């Protein structure tokens, strides 16, 4: 081994060591900042209230696990439950009773009462939930489980 | 007095520091007023430090306490309203003056060699300033801030590849919750002030060492024919004068135009009409609003984010892109680019407030 190559070797050893040392500090800090996965609360069914909580043409927002769900009763009397989070940028939507449409105030997005995006920026329809009545209880279930 | 000065001087060499400050001379010409803008921004940041630290004494982060503690500050604590008002007003003026400062520096071509790094550190300070504003906006935990934060972080989530990760790191989870508030608080009062201060010191050191730049046409005048004044004490005293005026203006604004606290945030309430970000994000917000849901095969949100990301990068690296400035020529292209940007920001901001 010449003197020159020994020096290059030591140089690299030092640089590699410093890099590894630095990485060993950065890595935990970086990982620490990422929040741990919260277990998805596996709620597939929830009671939204009783019939008397829902006069015709009214709505209520409830929470199913981590998802806000808008439960509404049309003027004709039938129920509908949709994901309440706008597909545009995450605002919470509201039910406009007069026109029977769902409105997102953030950027003036409209959905029809079935959750289809009809005007404004929302790119996708709202997620669907099932509504069933058990005696006078209004029960909301996840679609795939119903 | 002079004994104290001597005592310190013998240990810390004050004479040298003053000699250094006196050596720098500030050019006097039609653009001299621009040189005050950076100083005003600096002063406003100092106000933020002082009032921010005072707010920390009573503010309690957390979904159940934040709103209540701000209410307590403004209604129960003596002069609490004043401290909060000044913090809010000065935050907004800070961003405004940083914008003014940036554009005057841009049109004076002050970013050209050897001041590229001064421009880069300045840009980083602006980004941190915007982050200060974005994180601070959520802290009172009111309805407006809650939804603005949801929307703002959702936009960050649209960035390709890193979006999902950014969104979770920003929100400290998948949703905007009390955990987000705690995180924003930490970012707002510890992380940002720390990084900001380091960059600010670098920025100021560079300005101090390199002296004030003059636009290319002034530079052509022979040095002996240019008028200058010493930085210390002449210019510094003028700086102080202006700061005094700024402080008075803020006090007046705080008293006569208070910032509303609004309604407490409620995760189960629908978003109210009139959700908007702070005014300095309005031009971006309005752009996103105008882009249709889909552009060709891409989601509109993504197109908007890419548009601003590319624009921001170009602006960031202007010192390296504008090759003409280095040889003292005003490039038409970059001047028009700057004018376009100013007009774009103003028009879309106003538009955003009208609709
Ligand atoms: C070290 C510096 C700072 C500290 C310690 C600090 C601290 C705080 C605290 C405790 C609050 C919550 C109380 C409240 O909402 O009134 C707050 C709010 C806020 N801060 Fe700061 N801050 C600092 C710097 C800044 C800067 C540089 C900006 C500039 C953009 C800024 C912008 C805001 C805004 C917009 C709010 C919300 C005001 C409101 O609506 O009440 N802060 N800050
Ligand atoms: S978040 Fe609903 S329209 Fe933008």
Q: What is the pLDDT of residue A21?
A: 93
**Residues B270, A107: C-beta atoms closer than 8 Å:** no
On average, the pLDDT of chain B sits at 92
* DSSP-based three-state secondary structure for B251: helix
Among A1-10, B51-60, B324-333, which range has the highest average pLDDT?
Answer: B51-60
User: From the candidates A89, A102, A107, A122, which should be mutated to test the interface with B, based on the most B CB atoms within 10 A?
Assistant: A89
pLDDT tens readout for residues B221-269: 888 888 989 998 999 999 999 999 999 999 999 999 999 899 999 988 8
In chain B, the residue whose alpha carbon lies closest to the alpha carbon of A34 is: B169
Give the residue, out of B52, B88, B137, B146, with the most ligand 1 atoms within 8 A of its beta carbon, to mutate for a pocket test: B52
Asked whether residue A30 is domain-assigned, the answer is no
Q: What does the longest C-alpha to C-alpha distance in chain A come to?
A: 93
- Using the mean position of ligand 1's atoms as its centre, give its distance from the Cα of residue A64 in Å: 34
pLDDT band at A120 (very low <50, low <70, confident <90, very high): confident
Q: Determine contact: A116 vs chain B, CB below 8 A.
A: no
Among A97-101, B316-320, B342-346, which is the least confidently predicted range?
Answer: A97-101
Alpha carbon A20 to its chain centroid, in Å, reads 39
Asked whether residue A122 is domain-assigned, the answer is yes
Average pLDDT value for residue range A85-112: 91
Asked whether residue A19 is domain-assigned, the answer is no
Q: Are strands B294-295 and B228-230 parallel, antiparallel or unpaired?
A: unpaired
**Residues B268, A107: C-beta atoms closer than 8 Å:** no
| CATH code at position A139 | 2.102.10.10
Residue A97 CA to residue A74 CA, distance in Å, equals 8
Buried b (16+ CB within 10 A) or exposed e, B314-329: ebbebbeebeebeeee
Asked whether residue A129 is domain-assigned, the answer is yes
pLDDT tens readout for residues B268-290: 889 988 788 899 999 998 998 88
Q: State which fold the B17-267 domain adopts.
A: Cytochrome Bc1 Complex; Chain C (1.20.810)
pLDDT above 60: residue B153: yes
Q: Are strands A109-112 and A45-50 parallel, antiparallel or unpaired?
A: unpaired
**Residues A121, B292: C-beta atoms closer than 8 Å:** yes
Count structural domains, chain A.
1
Q: Which chain B residues are Cβ-neighbours of A62 within 8 angstroms?
A: 268
User: Which residue segment(s) compose the domain that A79 sits in?
Assistant: 45-145
ipTM of the predicted structure?
0.79
More confident residue, A73 or A120: A73
Residue B344 CA to residue B353 CA, distance in Å, equals 14
Average pLDDT value for residue range B109-119: 94
Asked whether residue A57 is domain-assigned, the answer is yes
Beta bridge partners of A67: A64
More confident residue, A24 or A37: A24
Q: What is the pLDDT of residue B190?
A: 97
pLDDT band at A144 (very low <50, low <70, confident <90, very high): low
In chain B, the residue whose alpha carbon lies closest to the alpha carbon of A106 is: B275
Q: What is the pLDDT of residue B60?
A: 96
User: From the candidates B147, B162, B170, B271, which should be mutated to test the interface with A, based on the most A CB atoms within 10 A?
Assistant: B271
Residue B143 CA to residue B137 CA, distance in Å, equals 11
pLDDT above 50: residue A146: no
At what angle are helices B116-138 and B192-210 packed, to 10 degrees?
A: 150
> Are the beta carbons of A37 and B245 closer than 8 angstroms?
no
Among A126-135, A137-146, B173-182, B209-218, which is the least confidently predicted range?
Answer: A137-146
> Are the beta carbons of B94 and B246 closer than 8 angstroms?
no
Q: How many CB atoms lie under 10 A from the CB of residue B208?
A: 14
At what angle are helices B35-56 and B80-107 packed, to 10 degrees?
A: 150
One DSSP character per residue, B48-108 reads: HHHHHHHHHTT---STTTHHHHHHHHHHTSTTHHHHHHHHHHHHHHHHHHHHHHHHHHHHT
Give the residue, out of B73, B133, B141, B188, with the most ligand 1 atoms within 8 A of its beta carbon, to mutate for a pocket test: B188
pLDDT band at B20 (very low <50, low <70, confident <90, very high): confident
> Are the beta carbons of A70 and A93 closer than 8 angstroms?
yes
Q: The tokens of B195 are what? A: 């990084």
CA angle in degrees (0–180, nearest 5) for B135-B139-B145 = 80
Q: Which chain A residues are Cβ-neighbours of B274 within 8 angstroms?
A: 105
CA angle in degrees (0–180, nearest 5) for B77-B80-B82 = 150
Q: State the Rg of chain A over Cα.
A: 27
Q: How many CB atoms lie under 10 A from the CB of residue A32?
A: 8
Average pLDDT value for residue range B321-338: 90
Atom in ligand 2 nearest the alpha carbon of residue A121 = 3
Residue B165 CA to residue A66 CA, distance in Å, equals 19
pLDDT tens readout for residues B174-226: 889 999 999 999 999 999 999 999 999 999 999 999 988 888 888 888 888 88
In chain A, the residue whose alpha carbon lies closest to the alpha carbon of B171 is: A35
Q: What is the pLDDT of residue A2?
A: 76
Hey, which bits of A51-134 come out as E strands? Answer: 58-64, 67-73, 79-83, 94-96, 101-104, 109-112, 117-119, 128-134
pLDDT band at A38 (very low <50, low <70, confident <90, very high): confident
Asked whether residue A12 is domain-assigned, the answer is no
Residue B96 CA to residue B86 CA, distance in Å, equals 15
Torsion sign, CA atoms B292, B297, B302, B305: negative
Atom in ligand 2 nearest the alpha carbon of residue B289 = 4
* DSSP-based three-state secondary structure for A128: strand
φ, ψ at A74 (rounded to 5°) = -70, 170
Indicate which residue's Cα is closest to atom 16 of ligand 1.
B84
Among B55-59, B172-176, B323-327, which is the least confidently predicted range?
Answer: B323-327
**Residues B300, A123: C-beta atoms closer than 8 Å:** yes
Asked whether residue A7 is domain-assigned, the answer is no
**Residues A92, B300: C-beta atoms closer than 8 Å:** no
Residue B16 CA to residue B4 CA, distance in Å, equals 16
- Using the mean position of ligand 1's atoms as its centre, give its distance from the Cα of residue B87 in Å: 6
């Amino acid at each position: 081994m010449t003197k020159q190559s020994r020096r290059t070797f030591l140089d690299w050893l030092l640089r590699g060591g410093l890099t590894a040392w630095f990485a060993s500090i950065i890595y935990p800090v970086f990982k620490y900042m990422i929040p741990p996965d919260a277990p998805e609360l596996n709620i597939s069914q929830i009671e939204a209230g009783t019939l008397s909580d829902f006069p015709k043409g009214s709505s209520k927002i409830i929470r199913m696990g981590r998802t806000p769900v808008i439960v509404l009763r049309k003027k004709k009397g039938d129920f509908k439950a949709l994901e309440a989070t706008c597909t545009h940028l995450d605002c919470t939507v509201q039910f406009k009773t007069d026109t029977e449409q769902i409105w997102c105030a953030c950027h003036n997005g409209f959905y029809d009462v079935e959750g289809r995006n009809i005007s404004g920026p929302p790119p996708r329809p709202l997620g669907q939930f099932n509504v069933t009545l058990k005696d006078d209880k209004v029960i909301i279930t996840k679609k795939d489980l119903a | 007095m002079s004994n104290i000065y001597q005592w310190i001087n013998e240990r810390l060499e004050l004479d040298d520091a003053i000699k250094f400050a006196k050596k720098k001379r500030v050019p006097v010409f039609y653009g001299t007023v621009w040189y005050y803008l950076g100083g005003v921004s600096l002063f406003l940041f100092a106000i933020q430090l002082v009032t921010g630290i005072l707010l920390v004494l009573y503010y309690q982060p957390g979904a159940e306490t934040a709103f209540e503690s701000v209410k307590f500050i403004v209604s129960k604590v003596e002069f609490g309203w004043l401290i909060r008002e000044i913090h809010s007003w000065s935050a907004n003026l800070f961003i405004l003056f940083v914008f003014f400062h940036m554009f005057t520096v841009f049109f004076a071509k002050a970013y050209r060699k050897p001041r590229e790094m001064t421009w880069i550190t300045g840009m980083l300070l602006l980004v941190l300033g915007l982050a200060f504003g974005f994180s601070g906006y959520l802290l009172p935990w009111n309805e407006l801030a809650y939804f603005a934060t949801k929307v703002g972080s959702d936009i960050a989530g649209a960035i390709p590849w890193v979006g999902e990760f950014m969104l979770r790191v920003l929100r400290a989870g998948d949703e905007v919750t009390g955990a987000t508030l705690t995180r924003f608080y930490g970012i707002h009062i510890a992380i940002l002030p720390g990084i900001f201060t380091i960059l600010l010191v670098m920025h100021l050191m560079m300005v101090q060492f390199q002296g004030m730049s003059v636009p290319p046409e002034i530079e052509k005048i022979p040095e002996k024919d240019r008028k200058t004044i010493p930085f210390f004490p002449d210019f510094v005293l003028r700086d102080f004068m202006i700061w005094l005026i700024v402080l008075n203006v803020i006090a007046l604004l705080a008293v006569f135009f208070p910032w509303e606290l609004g309604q407490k945030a409620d995760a189960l309430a629908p978003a109210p009409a009139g959700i908007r970000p702070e005014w300095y994000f309005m031009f971006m917000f309005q752009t996103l609003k105008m882009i249709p849901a889909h552009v060709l095969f891409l989601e509109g949100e993504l197109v908007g984010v890419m548009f601003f990301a590319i624009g921001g990068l170009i602006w960031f690296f202007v010192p390296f892109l504008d090759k003409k400035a280095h040889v003292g020529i005003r490039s038409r292209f970059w001047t028009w680019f700057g004018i376009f940007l100013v007009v774009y920001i103003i028009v879309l901001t106003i538009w955003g407030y009208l609709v």
